[in-house]
Structure 1
């Protein structure tokens, strides 16, 4: 019988084991781990301990994400990310979320892809910073030349804002979510840098321990 520890040595952890950028990639082209596709009506999320994709919850509403939805490896939303949003004091304590537009219909999650950052949405969820980076699939035949959020049709961003403002709705219960601030590529890269700094502040010791064992 194999233990979980044995198996985790063979499967690279999407959060800790992957790099946010491939070698020699431009600063705005990032590796993304995808958790959900636009077809999903169940909220899937990475289990941080095991590195496997798990069912978080069935969606209560009929809406599904209007883009591929995942996170950036080796990022974490804590003190530095919270500083980017003056109206809050804390961030949500998860890897930094990212939405990726693709012209071709990608139908499966638990995959890694390269995406070009074009902007983001400053989401405040119940008093916590929970930014959503917006990107396009690198090399995409329709969206591949997009460099900034202003190059995308506004309806693309509006659909993301609508999804994130409603996907936690429960009839009769007020949920405080704000998705009013949409920002461009440069601010998105600053948020990503803050999330990378938070990651190394909180989880850098894991990599130091791994190097010490080599």
Structure 2
């Protein structure tokens, strides 16, 4: 009997794309209709349930990460330089990405091609936790955008509100800080830094 090929690990076994960081492959974990938060299990590569969605926040776009990226020393250094203060480390995860599309995509655990247009420099309890904002390649509505500043203001506000509040519990102080909103050029710098951090990871 022929041996069935094993599934590639979404973080380690898939390329970010030959044209990265200008066009990247993204692995999607969560879609807006999900009522639980899924995330990749770093050991096995399978999606796991991180937690039920406790409150009314709904992820406003496809959400996942860029394969073979890591938020480590270079991400922290870049965040420190741009924020003008010491940010000692990245969050130790693959680089997060939100992908905008007009299409209803009903489940995660998929790969897609995306074009980065900007990002949010978030600080999560002192750690750099960038969120790259991208558009689905070829999307009829969002595919025309190449800069975050060109998006309708309401979409940017929705994304910003989500990321500033999705970890905040009722009657507790906010844990996320938005240090900056940046455009396509800096988004590509962040992606490249995270790819460098991945290459520097101990194996």
Same fold (TM over 0.5): yes
Q: Which has the higher helix share?
A: 1
Between 1:166-175 and 1:48-57, the stretch displaced more is 166-175
Instruction: Provide the C-alpha distance between the structure 1 equivalents of 2:40 and 2:196, rounded to a whole number of angstroms.
Output: 21
**Match for residue 141 of structure 2?**
142
**Match for residue 19 of structure 1?**
15
**Match for residue 62 of structure 2?**
68
Question: Could you tell me how far 1:180 is from its partner in structure 2?
Answer: 4.6
Q: Which of these residues, 78, 87, 108, is aligned with residue 84 of structure 1?
A: 78
Question: Could you tell me how far 1:27 is from its partner in structure 2?
Answer: 4.0
Q: What's the secondary structure of 2:140's corresponding residue?
A: coil
**Match for residue 39 of structure 1?**
33
**Match for residue 181 of structure 2?**
182
Structure 1: any 5+ residue segments left out of the alignment? Answer: 1-5, 206-214
**Match for residue 209 of structure 1?**
none
**Match for residue 102 of structure 1?**
101
CA contact (8 A) 1:92 1:128 kept: yes
What TM-score comes out, normalization by structure 1 length?
Answer: 0.87
> Where does structure 1 differ by over 6 angstroms across 4 or more consecutive aligned residues?
none
CA contact (8 A) 2:21 2:191 kept: no
Instruction: Provide the C-alpha distance between the structure 2 equivalents of 1:123 and 1:26, rounded to a whole number of angstroms.
Output: 22
Instruction: Provide the C-alpha distance between the structure 2 equivalents of 1:97 and 1:27, rounded to a whole number of angstroms.
Output: 14
| CA spacing shift, 1:54–1:26, aligned 2, 3 Å | closer
Q: What's the secondary structure of 2:24's corresponding residue?
A: strand
Q: How many residues align?
A: 196
What TM-score comes out, normalization by structure 2 length?
Answer: 0.92
